[in-house]
Amino acid sequence: MKTMVLLSDSHGHTAGVRALSRLFDENSYVVHLGDGSSDMRPYVDSHVFVMKGNCDFSFGESERVLSIEGVNVLCCHGHKYGVKSGLARLALRAKELQCSVALYGHTHRADISEVDGVLCINPGSLASFTEPSYAYLVFAKEKVTPTIVPVR
C-alpha cells in the first residue's frame, strides 16, 4: 500500500503548504499540481513531485506519469487540457499515456469524477479562492481510493 498527499493552486499561500508539510514525510508521495509550484521548493525530495501551472514560470514539470501499486497516474495542472470546460481532453490524454487516473488542478474546485473510464481527481485549492482543501489517496492492489480533505 502507498499513500499520497495531493495539493494544488496554493498561489503563494505558503502557510497552507507549511501546515500540510507535517504530512509529507508520512506519505509515500506528495504531488503539487501547480500554480504555486515555488511554494514547494523547501520540500522537494525524491518522493515530492511538482507540476507547473499556468501561473508558474520557472519551477516544476509540465506533466509526469507515476506508476504506483500497478496504477498509472497522469499528473498535470490541467490548463492545457481545458479542464474548466470539461474533463474529456484530460481523460483522452490520460488514456494516450495508458493512465487510469488523472490528477489535475486549475479550477480551484475539489472534484472526483470518472470520465470515459479515467478517474479524474482535483484536490481543490489551498488558497482562499474557495473552501481550502487537499486530497489524500491510498493505492493498493491496482486500486486507488481518493478522499477530499477540507482545510480548516
Q: Position 111: which residue type?
A: D
Mean pLDDT (whole number) for 31-41: 96
pLDDT of residue 152: 81
pLDDT digits (tens, 9 = 90+) for 63-100: 999 999 999 999 999 999 999 999 999 999 999 999 99
Sheet holding 48-50, edge to edge: 48-50, 29-32, 2-7, 133-140, 143-150
pLDDT of 130: 77
pLDDT, average across residues 44-57:
96
Q: Percent of the chain at pLDDT above 90?
A: 94
- Residue 50: the pLDDT is 98
Beta carbons of 24 and 46 less than 8 angstroms apart: no
26 falls in which pLDDT band (50, 70, 90)? Answer: very high
Nearest to 125 by CA among 136, 110, 141: 110
**Are 73 and 85 contacting, i.e. CB atoms less than 8 angstroms apart?**
no
Give residue limits of the domains in the chain: 2-150
Name the class of domain 2-150: alpha beta
Kindly report the average pLDDT of the chain as a whole number. 96
Question: 57: which residues sit within 8 A by CB, 6+ positions away?
Answer: none
pLDDT digits 0-9 by tens, 96-131: 999 999 999 999 999 999 999 999 999 999 987 778
Whether this model's pTM surpasses 0.95: yes
